[in-house]
Structure 1
Amino acid sequence: MIGRLRGIILEKQPPLVLLETQGVGYEIHMPMTCFYALPNIGQEAIIYIHFVVREDAQLLFGFTHKQERALFRELIKVNGVGPKLALAILSGMSASQFVSAVEHQEINALVKLPGVGKKTAERLVVEMKDRFKGMSGDMFAVGATDFALSAPSAADTDISPENEAVEALVSLGYKPQEASRLVNKVARPDADSETLIREALRAAL
């Protein structure tokens, strides 16, 4: 079981990061709220890992804090919520924002997340609220993930920031038309892809 990786960031293609550890490059899926906090390409990063083994694939999901990984693991225990949907939920909301939405039963905020319908939102509120009981009140108060953005790095790529942002949103569960609409809504000439993704996710809520 892989629980933590420390290495050099080789590529950042939201929501994927390629991390080199002792000569091996690991592709890691990260929620955007964690992706924003990554250092630039060529710098060292420590990422907490949840390892998923399926018949057709072995997937790594990464987080900047143990608390976010703990929340991800609780999310995928909810009926109807798999790793991809959990990743989308934690991309649209930070861990602390999600906990707040559940505790205040903010169904309308949850259904704005990709792949979350009313029934799923209601199930999240009921099941996750019970799981939060007994946990430390500040367990998921990870302020650093509330859309904190490190200095963006300019990756060598021919794809435009707008198209890269649309592709990232689609990979998180948004329909292509909706992803394009959200990106076009926040697009501006000086924005890089990470900024567009962050602002598009905000606009969706």
Structure 2
Amino acid sequence: MIGRIRGTLVEKLPPEVLIDVSGVGYEIQMPMTSLYQLPELGAEVVVYTHFVVREDAQLLFGFADRQERALFRELIKANGVGPKMALTIMSGMTAGQFAQVVNQGDVSSLVKLPGVGKKTAERLLVEMKDRLKTVFGNVEAMAVTPLDIGELAVPTAIGSARDEALSALLALGYKPPQAEKMLKTVFTEAASAEELIRDALKSVA
């Protein structure tokens, strides 16, 4: 099991990053809420990871801290939730915001996310209420002051910001017409890819 990666941030192609560790490059998929917190390219980073082995692929998922990784691990235990859906959920809201959604039984916030239907959302709320208590302790206390995505530090992106943002939204499960519409609503020439992604995700929250 690969539990933590420490190395140089070489590339950011949301929702994937490339981290160089002594000459070996690790491709790591991250929820946007974690990716927003990464430093500039060339800086040293520490990422907590979860390794998934499938018949057709070996995937490494990364997180800014142990709490986000713990949430991811509990999400993929839920019925009908795989790593991709868990990544999408965690890209649309922080751990604190998700705890608040669960605590309030807020189905509507979950069904706005791609791939999450009403039945899946309802089942997820029931299953995750107990799981969150196991991982985070007092869910109610955790949900009082959820971190606003808009408060996260957003690093500078490279390349075509709009194209990178569109690719990230598609990778997170949004359909092309929906992703295009989301970006059209928030697009500005001066925005970085991460800012466009952040604002696009907030536009459907």
Q: Give the TM-score range, shorter chain.
A: over 0.9
Question: In the alignment, which of 147, 152, 157 is matched to residue 149 of structure 1?
Answer: 152
Residues 140-169 of structure 1: CA deviation (Å, up to 9, x unaligned): 6796674443352242x3xx2112111100
- Report the counterpart of residue 192 of structure 1 in structure 2: 192
**For residues 140 and 65 of structure 1, what CA distance do their matches in structure 2 show?**
16
The 8 Å contact of residues 162 and 193 in structure 1, kept in 2 or not, is answered as yes
What SS does the aligned partner of 1:133 have? helix
The 8 Å contact of residues 36 and 148 in structure 1, kept in 2 or not, is answered as no
Q: Which amino acid aligns with 2:156?
A: S
Segments ≥4 residues shifted beyond 4 Å: 138-145
The 8 Å contact of residues 33 and 147 in structure 1, kept in 2 or not, is answered as no
Residues 124-155 of structure 1: CA deviation (Å, up to 9, x unaligned): 11000122235422796796674443352242
Is the helix fraction higher in 1 or 2?
A: 2
Q: Which amino acid aligns with 2:171?
A: S
- % identical equivalent positions: 56
- Report the counterpart of residue 24 of structure 1 in structure 2: 24
What SS does the aligned partner of 1:10 have? strand
**For residues 147 and 4 of structure 2, what CA distance do their matches in structure 1 show?**
19
Residues 152-189 of structure 1: CA deviation (Å, up to 9, x unaligned): 2242x3xx211211110000000011000000100011
**For residues 177 and 132 of structure 1, what CA distance do their matches in structure 2 show?**
34
What SS does the aligned partner of 1:96 have? helix
- Going from structure 1 to structure 2, the CA distance change for 1:144 and 1:17 (only over 3 Å counts) comes to farther
Instruction: Give RMSD over aligned pairs.
Output: 1.8
* TM-score normalised per structure 2: 0.93
How many aligned positions are there? Answer: 202
Q: Which amino acid aligns with 1:100?
A: Q
* TM-score normalised per structure 1: 0.93
- Report the counterpart of residue 126 of structure 1 in structure 2: 126
- Counting only pairs closer than 5 Å after superposition, residues 134-173 of structure 1 correspond to structure 2 as 134=134, 135-137=136-138, 146-155=149-158, 157=159, 160-173=160-173
Q: Structure 1: state its 5+ residue gaps.
A: none
Q: Alpha-carbon deviation of 1:15?
A: 0.4
Residues 38-58 of structure 1: CA deviation (Å, up to 9, x unaligned): 011000110000000111111
